[in-house]
Structure 1
Amino acid sequence: MTALGFLYPGHSAEDDYPRIEQLLGSDIRVDLAHTDVGEDEHRVDALRQLGAPERLAAGVEQLRLSGAEAIVWASTSGGFVHGWEGAHEQVRALARAAGMPASSTSFGFVHAAKEVGAARVAVGATYPDDITALFAEFLRAGGVEVTAVRGGPGIGTAAEAGTWGEAEVLALARAADTPDADAVLLPDTALHTAAHLPVLEKELGKPVLTANQVTVWEALRLADRRVNAPGLGTLFTREPIVQV
């Protein structure tokens, strides 16, 4: 049994995780510790507070007691708003506090894009344009070219993003896609996407990387586990897992 630990802010799309655990169909256990959201707003200051060390530390002991072998901060925007170096320091502090390998969804996207061979990606985000631009900058810092960015669909909070269904998620992915993109990235962990991955990839004809999918894959990478799960998209049908 491999136990994976996740620090998940709030409750917007938490049910993606038991669904992913089921789709993995292996001896993988997915454990969530919910962190305090504070002010649920897609603003730089609020997002930086979302991933503050004291907020992350509050859930670490729960995951350690669960037997987790790796831990991931399951908030994309709560990582990349700190910039490339700041996000590195965030996960280093998390690893020290947890006493185990740690990462974040933001880094998971960089690693996952490379895993599926996507040198160029298109981004479809629920964030305002300024926040989406910060994610694109983060990807570029990680060596991933961004062909197009689609943000600002009028969603100001994670709670709102959590109400979206398949139709809205698919529309966002289609709007973001460009012919020269090797993959489409949907970075919000507040979006329910685990059930929609087969439809998304079928409709777009290319890999689609979504936040909760990437978060679990990143934890498996840290734990050095390879799991073939076609229901979770191209990312879970490629081997070997990239070592970074």
Structure 2
Amino acid sequence: MTALGVLYPGHSAEDDYPRIEQLLGSDIRVELVHTDIGEDAHSVGALRQTGTPERLAAGLERLRLSGAEAVVWACAGEGFVHGWEGAQEQVRGLARTAGMPASSTSFAFVHAAQEIAAARVAVGATYPDDLAGLFAAFLRAGGLEVTGVHGSGTVTAAEAGTWGEAEVLALARAADDPGADAVLLPDTALHTAASLPALEKELGKPVLTAHQVTVWEALRLADRRVNAPALGALFTREPIVQV
């Protein structure tokens, strides 16, 4: 049994994680611990406060006691708003405090795109344009080419959490670019686990979403690979790179 630790802020789309655990169909356990979200706002200031060391410390202690082998901070925005270097320092701090390998959803997107050889990506974000642009800048710092960015302007995680499959598909279609190897949908407040097959069928290319890449990143840190076609191309391809 491999236990994966996920630190998740608030309560918007956490039901995606038990769904993913079920779809993995293997001896994988996803240990989900909630952290205090503070102010629910898609803004740089609010996001920076969401992931303060004090807010994360209690959750890390619970994950350590659960037997988790790796931990991923499942808040894409709170990672990329710090920039590449700042997000790296945050992850190093998580690893030191937790005593286990650590990463964040922001880095998970970069690693997952590299895994499927998607050098050119399009971004479909629920966020306002300024935050969507910061995510694109983070991806570029990770060596990816961003062909286009589409922001939807939601102002809270709670709002994004109400979106259904129709809204998610519309976001992906609006973001898609013929020159992109994959479409990326950040925001761990968005329900996407049940929609991955429909998304990839609709676009005819890999789609990477926040919960999907978060669990994949935790598996990578734990040195596990699981074939799970219902979770998209990321979970069906042979490894291309090891980061």
TM-score range, shorter chain: over 0.9
> Could you tell me how far apart the structure 2 residues matched to 1:208 and 1:166 are?
14
The root-mean-square deviation of aligned C-alpha atoms, in Å, is 0.7
1:89 is aligned with what amino acid? E
Contact kept? 1:122, 1:147, Cα under 8 Å: yes
1:241 Cα deviation (Å)?
6.7
The SS at the match of 1:150 is strand
2:193 is the counterpart of 1:221: no
Mapping for residues 1-244 of structure 1, pairs under 5 Å: 1-151=1-151, 153-240=152-239, 242-244=241-243
Contact kept? 1:226, 1:239, Cα under 8 Å: no
Q: Which digits, 9 at most, give the CA deviation of each residue in 1:154-182, with x for residues without a partner?
A: 31000000000000000000000010000
1:238 Cα deviation (Å)?
1.4
The SS at the match of 1:164 is coil
Unaligned runs of 5+ in 2: none
Contact kept? 1:47, 1:78, Cα under 8 Å: yes
Q: 1:132 to 1:74 in 2, by over 3 A?
A: same
The SS at the match of 1:122 is strand
Contact kept? 2:208, 2:234, Cα under 8 Å: yes
1:56 Cα deviation (Å)?
1.1
The SS at the match of 2:194 is coil
Report the TM-score, using the length of structure 2 for normalisation.
Answer: 0.99
* Shift >3 Å, 4+ stretches: none
1:24 is aligned with what amino acid? L
Larger deviation: 50-59 or 33-42?
A: 50-59
1:132 is aligned with what amino acid? A
The SS at the match of 1:195 is helix
Equivalenced residue count is 243
Contact kept? 2:115, 2:241, Cα under 8 Å: yes
Larger deviation: 49-58 or 112-121?
A: 49-58
Q: 1:59 to 1:102 in 2, by over 3 A?
A: same
The SS at the match of 2:163 is coil
> Could you tell me how far apart the structure 2 residues matched to 1:13 and 1:184 are?
20
> Could you tell me how far apart the structure 2 residues matched to 1:186 and 1:176 are?
9
Q: Which digits, 9 at most, give the CA deviation of each residue in 1:52-86, with x for residues without a partner?
A: 11111120011111100000000000100000000
> Could you tell me how far apart the structure 2 residues matched to 1:239 and 1:14 are?
28
1:7 is aligned with what amino acid? L
> Could you tell me how far apart the structure 1 residues matched to 2:237 and 2:14 are?
25
2:134 is aligned with what amino acid? L
> Could you tell me how far apart the structure 1 residues matched to 2:65 and 2:144 are?
36
The SS at the match of 1:196 is helix
